[in-house]
Amino acid sequence: MSRVGMVGVDEYRRRARIWLGQVKPPDLGSSYEERFAGLRRWQRVLYDAGWVGIHWPREVGGGGLSMHHTLAFAEELVRARLPQPVGSIGVEVIGPTILRHGSNEQRNRFLPQLLSGVELWGQGFSEPGAGSDLAGLRTRAIRDGDTLIVTGQKVWTSWATDADFCAVLARTDLNAGRHNGISYLIVDMRAPGVTVRPIRQMTGDPEFNEIFFDDVAVPLENVVGGLGGGWQLAMDTLGHERSGYAIRRRMENESAFIDLVDALRAAGPGAVPDARAAIGELFVSLKKFEAQSRATATRLADGEGPTPIDSLDKLSLTATEQQLYAVASNLLGVERMVVGARPWGARAEDWIKGLLYARSASIYGGSSQIQRSIIAERHLGLPRGR
């Protein structure tokens, strides 16, 4: 460890294991809403004990340790069969951008509340006409003295119904080029003129939403990185979504894998034909991704900002998550189609929900086609497509 006095990762892991062995597990209820509320309380429990924002600076409520410590704790949560905290958009996606590019006032005002889960965040980037082509966004923020007046629409905004703040990309200079006129705004989701309309996904959960902005007043002090500086910050946030968030999602997949293996063990010999080869292959994929995310943790621990290589993590996450749920669903056999069925003790509906949700991994944070183009063009230097 380079930082003087920093506890080593192995010792930190040992302390985490002891703490997790004693903490009361969260009560997550059964509905989507109960689970979300339970995970939010869980985040507070973890934060109060110092286990959220482990590698963030102490001044903003973090632990002042390294990304390796953060990774170790996330792995210990999996090992203890306990869930990850809920505020992932804030902690893994938006927060790192505010930490790196926000003013001191913005960091002090927003980051401690974001880590504790007292305030949750949304990511207002995509619009009906701007997803892969994000620079085509049309939401406007027109200056009126010390205020920006925001009008427009976002879509697919995850957890916006529960968000207190949203990082919104808006066009502040209508005459500048496509990328130059965009700013990165912190918008209070309770401000007059903000309307959130949930969209039910094919999993049945209303996780993502439309957001409408009708003349919403945003103070100039809520612009991160200066007027017109939003494009670079958006790339920063997307880099975190493809690396840090992918690592966190890997943990959720590891937990699901452990559940699957436990269920198969309990089913006994011969109960699930063909399980061994598929599970073996899946294990190899998960281990490869684990090795890759350790390399990513090292890059992040060394202070490296987002790079085109982050797209590798996103692609690996997508591949392993889709493989995991496809394998589980195949092993469940036709019983997976029966509501309430418990083939070899597994809750079929959870695995089917996972199978459906896994489809989204090749879309959010930039589709797999876009990730492959980023690697080809920006990492390998191939000529850009038209």
CA dist., res. 323 & res. 335, Å (int): 19
Q: Closest approach of Cβ 313 to ligand FAD, in Å? A: 16
Q: Closest approach of Cβ 93 to ligand FAD, in Å? A: 8
**Which residue in 76, 241, 254, 321 is the catalytic one?**
241
Q: Closest approach of Cβ 370 to ligand FAD, in Å? A: 6
Residues that bind ligand FAD (CB under 6 A): 123-126, 131-132, 156-158, 208, 360, 363-364, 366-367, 369-370, 373
Residues 6+ apart with CB under 8 A from 97: 167, 184, 224, 233, 236, 237, 240
With respect to ligand FAD, which residue has the nearer C-beta, 228 or 366?
A: 366
With respect to ligand FAD, which residue has the nearer C-beta, 84 or 373?
A: 373
Give the start-end residues of each E strand in the chain.
121-124, 140-144, 147-158, 165-171, 182-188, 194-199, 208-219, 223-224
C-beta separation of 96 from 247 below 8 A: no
C-beta separation of 177 from 135 below 8 A: no
CA distances from residue 150 to 177, 185, 221, 336 in whole angstroms, order as listed: 19, 10, 14, 46
Q: Which residue has the closest beta carbon to ligand FAD? A: 131
CA dist., res. 145 & res. 331, Å (int): 62
With respect to ligand FAD, which residue has the nearer C-beta, 209 or 285?
A: 209
Q: Closest approach of Cβ 320 to ligand FAD, in Å? A: 17
With respect to ligand FAD, which residue has the nearer C-beta, 13 or 242?
A: 242
- Residue 241 designated active-site: yes
With respect to ligand FAD, which residue has the nearer C-beta, 212 or 364?
A: 364
Name the residue among 253, 278, 255 with its Cα closest to residue 332: 278
Tell me the β-bridge partners of 224.
184
CA-only gyration radius of the chain, Å: 21
Q: Closest approach of Cβ 159 to ligand FAD, in Å? A: 7
Residues 6+ apart with CB under 8 A from 214: 151, 193, 195
Which residues are the active-site residues?
241
